[in-house]
Chain A
């Protein structure tokens, strides 16, 4: 796709947790599974002086939620909004200033914390504390300069655990962890550029050594627009490797919606009137499980006609989703589980006859379509209004909105774009003066840049330049350095983090479960000659899969105290002794020879390893 000609503009906002302890209290910045007391709160939107209420805030408040908070060993009254914030954490401020130094930004002369109103319960106070640290920076990626608008320091929100009915459960372990927020200008014009910028920012952040590591410690918001489309914010992407996919998918989605708009205009589509009909009688005998159970629970089936929408609700020929799923996502805000639209019917147990009945009951004509929702009446009615609203918006084109990222690289509507955040000063926190002395000490202590580090790896550990660059980008540069320095074998260490981890992931295993201590033990074992390096992937796989210790994994795999050179020697001898046999049987000789080798090694070695070595030797002979 020619992204430039599509007018693609992408900006990102990166949120990185710091490991400096919480921002406004003395609690540790660690997550916890251990939780104790709970308390329950409600939040109200507060009016501005002019009586305005933020539209996103209003949508949240309409749901009249109550919030339950679990406290953890490291939560205190500050987290619970029961004690004023303490002075801002100096180490966190320094980390943000360091980062601003790395991005050539102009820092504030004095830092002032603000309260940003957020009433989804993720902040116990109903606002998030945030401060502008520096402005006007830049980052150079692949020969292009990308503007860095601002760097802010803010407190992370509470961790959402679950949502049942009108109650949302949060845990207080994450609240108050400092977050460095870096916002770029919308200067990126391709998915690839987006990926490179995110990677670069990530490696600079890691270079400060003040960041938390692991899943969820870095989150990205991606702002995407194309010409004729609209600004859409994908909020909270955690898997950076999917970032460029989100951009690609969003471009596809917006193109499809622009096409829908064009088609609707061509057909002369007008605003759809809100004529919601009760169609329950048409579904008395239905075999559609969803509708049937809704009726049995006392619900109603409501329908609305969507003139001119035929064929524009379902996916495109290339499988790009269009208006139907968007309407469903809006309907779900009202609490229903979903909807059916005519492009997907008959189906889901809804028969041709039922579709025809509904179409005639709703007066659907030619290129018209319809939508039905089955649920308790008030809920279904509210949902239908939202769904029809969304259909009407399709006539205008692509709406601005916030979307949630999904693990497959696609996204789903979550809420309107927030209005300009309501921010007012956090008067409980003292302003922090950034004087020349502070800046000088930060300048003198700026961390090693990623490219400097890569060069040093090449120099000190004799790894290849490409491998060194990959290590720095991978996020495992610190682990690599630590292990290679203490245990040698830099090539093996690099391979574990760059290749083995990727292989493990392909097998459906989560390599982040492998701690640096585990790798250290594995390497120690390797150095002792307990096994050959070829066994490392299996050992790690077994550790992840079964939760084994290294020792246990070795025992189970039977690779304990095996010298792979010995295995090779045995295979070599067996092959040489039976050359004739092999030449006669070809690769079919493997089976019989396996038995012989296994017997000689008395089961000490995993058959898979023997089979690999043996078949290689057989192939070579042939």
Chain B
């Protein structure tokens, strides 16, 4: 961030840019250091310098303050790196989308940057190259909260291209916040996978010695090279310890903690596989690699919404949303309920041709609208229960279904059939 106000003016007059060595003089106090970027939460009157002892210090600029540029920043040439190719090893594609795992810290300024090249990302974990030839590509450099529907489409196409040109698996470094949405979207869009597609993230950035990124990347690579998995999965730490990673089905996984390494959990399902050191063990049924080629079903209609029902929910709000969308996923309470007040809104929406699907905000367990009268009334109003499908998965699937067909009944049929393991009928004790 740039400086403004008095200090901005002083720096400009001195011709000092970020990274330059500057001298800030205040009465008898003299501070010499590298000019650092302005921290978002730093006071506007403060200039931040990195002193020779390595510490940053905030110096307040006032009328007595003078600034002198001492020397310009040294441009550091980054060595050009290229990835080795070993014909005896299999190819694994790494298609980066951004997020914590694909970012690095500029130790000089502390600013977090997305990896400029996939090579950089791979070089942070040189062990990957012992296991495979890496085909690295930076497709996007975005924080996962900025992912949009069209990003999923581009990603699906890029993955299919890699698999259809000989990669034994594809690793997708991704921001963790919406990784579950992406994994669900890819699960529906990619058909006949010839190898695993592994969405992988990090909860601790790779500038930290304690980062989980490297272990997650290594486990992903192992799964690509040494297993017959042919599914979209999310792979992250299985525990707070650096002991093992878990691969979760792309449609059954959810970020369940805001910060822990083992934030991702399989919901209403067992994880697919566990990777501990060099050992891979499968924990539930999974689809094996197909002969290919991989087919891309990437048509999608983003005109869909999802909402969380809560006590006090205004029927009017539902009406407003239902007016704008082709379909709506409502996470109901408990077995999938909404209040009597909004039953009318549901009825009106369905009558207008809007799809209303019901999931449970409990996350664990299945929707069942047969047990209570409210549920039966919801069915009568035209709401469709989605079993144990996760709300986010249902939302993604509804967009995808609307992209596959414009037939109202077909959409409903697609939604109720299990396409990528998103709907299960048995939940184990």
* Chain A bound to chain B: yes
A sample of 5 cross-chain residue pairs with beta-carbon separation below 8 angstroms, ordered by A number, consists of: A42-B242, A49-B76, A77-B260, A112-B39, A125-B210
Q: Tell me if A's interface is mostly helix, strand, loop or mixed.
A: loop
Interface of B is mostly: loop
Whether B42 contacts A43 by the Cβ 8 Å rule is: no
B58 and A110 form a contact (CB under 8 A): yes
Closest 7 CB pairs of A and B: A110-B58, A126-B209, A425-B110, A132-B55, A109-B60, A112-B56, A423-B54
Q: Which of A424, A426, A430 has the most CB of B within 10 A?
A: A424
Known: A110-B42, A119-B209. 9 other contacts (CB 8 A): A39-B239, A41-B242, A47-B124, A84-B259, A109-B46, A112-B39, A431-B39, A431-B42, A433-B58
Cα–Cα, bound, A48→B209 (Å): 12
Contact indicator per residue, chain B 81-118, by CB within 8 Å of chain A (1) or not (0) = 00000000000000000000000011111111000000
In the complex, the chain B residue whose C-beta lies closest to that of A69 is: B241
A435 to chain B, nearest CB (A): 8
A423-459 residues at the B interface, CB under 8 angstroms: 423-427, 430-431, 433
Q: Does A421 contact B (CB under 8 A)?
A: yes
Query: Is A422 interfacial (CB 8 A cutoff)?
Result: yes
Interface size range on B against A: 35 or more
Task: With CB as the reference atom, state the residue of chain A lying closest to B31.
Answer: A135
**Residues of chain A lying within 8 A (CB to CB) of residue B57:** 108-112, 132, 135
Q: How far is the CB of A183 from chain B (nearest CB, A)?
A: 9
Query: Would you call B259 and A46 a contact (CB within 8 A)?
Result: no
- CB-based nearest B residue for A112: B56
Min CB–CB distance B428 → chain A (angstroms): 26
Given A423-B54, A433-B46; A77-B259 close (CB under 8 Å): yes
Question: Shortest CB–CB separation between residue B73 and chain A, in angstroms?
Answer: 13
Q: Which of B209, B215, B241, B261 contacts A117 (CB 8 A)?
A: B209
Indicate if the CB atoms of B209 and A43 lie closer than 8 Å: yes
Interface residues of B in 194-219 (CB under 8 A from A): 203-204, 206-211, 214-215
Q: B-side interface residues toward A, CB under 8 Å?
A: 29, 36, 39, 41-43, 46, 48, 51, 53-60, 76, 78-79, 105-112, 124, 203-204, 206-211, 214-215, 239-243, 259-261
Q: Are B243 and A110 in contact (CB under 8 A)?
A: no
A152 at the interface (CB under 8 A from B): yes
- Say how far A530's CB is from chain B's closest CB, in angstroms: 55
**Is the beta-carbon distance between B207 and A424 smaller than 8 angstroms?**
yes
B240 to chain A: which residues have CB within 8 Å? 39, 80, 82
CA distance A400 to B214 in the complex (A): 34
Q: From A125, which residue of chain B is reached at the shortest CB distance?
A: B210
Which residue of A has the minimal Cβ distance to B207? A46
Instruction: Indicate if the CB atoms of A127 and B259 lie closer than 8 Å.
Output: no
Is there contact, CB below 8 Å, between B209 and A49?
Answer: no
For B262, give the chain A residue with the smallest CB separation.
Answer: A82
Closest to B30 in A: A136
A142 in contact (CB, < 8 A): no
B204 contacts which chain A residues (CB < 8 A)? 81, 125
Closest to B45 in A: A109
B260 with A49: CB separation less than 8 A: no
Within 8 A of B (CB), among A106-139: 106, 108-112, 114-117, 119, 124-127, 130-132, 135-136
B55, A423: Cβ atoms closer than 8 Å: yes
Given A41-B242, A114-B54, A423-B55, do A124 and B107 touch, yes or no (CB 8 Å)? no
A131 to B78, CA, bound (A): 30
Q: Are A111 and B58 in contact (CB under 8 A)?
A: yes
Which residues on B sit within 8 Å (CB–CB) of A127? 208-209
Chain A residues positioned under 8 Å from B76 (CB to CB): 49-50
A114–B105 Cα distance when bound, in Å, is 13
The answer on a CB contact under 8 Å between A44 and B78 is no
In the bound complex, what is the Cα–Cα distance between A109 and B260 (angstroms)? 34
Residue numbers in B under 8 Å from A124 (CB-CB): 210
- Per-residue interface assignment for chain A, residues 43 to 57, with 1 indicating a CB less than 8 Å from any chain B CB and 0 otherwise: 111111111000000
* Residue among A40, A45, A132, A135 making CB contact with B209, cutoff 8 Å: A45
Is A420's CB within 8 Å of the partner chain B?
yes
The one of B36, B124, B210, B259 in contact with A126, judged by C-beta atoms closer than 8 angstroms, is B210
Question: What residue of chain A has the Cβ atom nearest to residue B204's Cβ?
Answer: A81
Q: A112 contacts B239, CB within 8 Å?
A: no
Instruction: Determine if A40 and B43 form an interchain contact, defined as CB atoms under 8 angstroms apart.
Output: no
CB distance from B101 to the nearest CB of A (A): 14
Task: Report the bound CA distance from A124 to B108 in whole Å.
Answer: 23
Whether B106 pairs with A433 at a CB distance below 8 angstroms is no
Q: List chain A residues, Cβ under 8 A from B46.
A: 109-110, 431, 433
Collect the chain B residues with CB atoms within 8 Å of residue A50's CB: 76
Residues of B within 8 A of A44 (CB): 209, 211, 214
Instruction: Name which residue of chain A comes closest to B109, CB basis.
Output: A425
| CB atoms of B241 and A41 under 8 A apart | yes
Q: Give the CA-CA distance A431 to B108 in the complex, in Å.
A: 17
A106 to B79, CA, bound (A): 41
Chain B residues within an 8 Å CB radius of A83:
259-260
Distance to closest chain B CB from A91 (angstroms): 20
Query: Do A46 and B209 touch across chains, with their CB atoms under 8 A apart?
Result: yes
Contact between chains at B210 and A41 (CB < 8 Å): yes
List, in ascending order, chain B residues with CB within 8 A of A49's CB.
Answer: 76, 78, 106-108
Closest to A432 in B: B58
Nearest chain B CB to A82's CB is how many angstroms away? 5
Check B259–A424 contact: CB distance below 8 A: no
In the assembled complex, the CB of B404 is this many whole angstroms from the nearest CB of chain A, namely: 41
Q: Kindly state whether residue A150 has any CB partner on chain B within 8 Å.
A: yes
Contact pick for B208, options A39, A126, A136, A421, CB 8 Å: A126
Chain B residue, CB-CB nearest to A118: B209
Instruction: Please indicate which of the listed interface residues B54, B59, B106, B108 has the most CB atoms of chain A within 10 Å of its own CB.
Output: B54
Q: Which residue of B lies closest to A57 (CB)?
A: B209
Interface residues of A in 26-43 (CB under 8 A from B): 39-43
Query: Residue among A51, A109, A126, A131 with the most chain B CB within 10 A?
Result: A109
Which residues of B lie under 8 Å from residue A114 when comparing CB positions? 54-56
Distance from A124 Cβ to chain B, minimum over Cβ atoms (Å): 6
Q: Which residues of B contact A111 (CB under 8 A)?
A: 57-58
Which residue of chain A has its CB nearest to the CB of B29? A106
A124 CA / B210 CA spacing, docked (Å): 7
Chain B residues in 8 Å Cβ range of A48: 107
> Which of A45, A47, A119, A421 is within 8 Å of B54, CB to CB?
A421
Count chain A CB atoms within 10 A of each CB in B36, B55, B56 and give the residue with the most: B55
Bound complex: CA A136 to CA B26 (Å): 14
Q: How distant is the Cα of A110 from the Cα of B241 in the complex, in angstroms?
A: 36
Closest beta carbon of chain B to A77's beta carbon, Å: 7
Chain A residue at smallest Cβ distance from B43: A433
Give the docked Cα–Cα distance between A80 and B48 (Å). Answer: 30
Instruction: Give the shortest distance, in Å, between A84 (CB) and chain B (any CB).
Output: 6
Contact A40 B58, beta carbon cutoff 8 Å: no
Contact with B along A78-98 (1 / 0, CB 8 A): 001111100000000000000
A110: chain B residues within 8 A (beta carbon): 42-43, 46, 48, 57-60
Cα A136 to Cα B29 with chains together (Å): 9
Q: Provided the pairs A77-B260, A433-B43 are in contact, do residues A109 and B241 lie with their beta carbons within 8 angstroms?
A: no
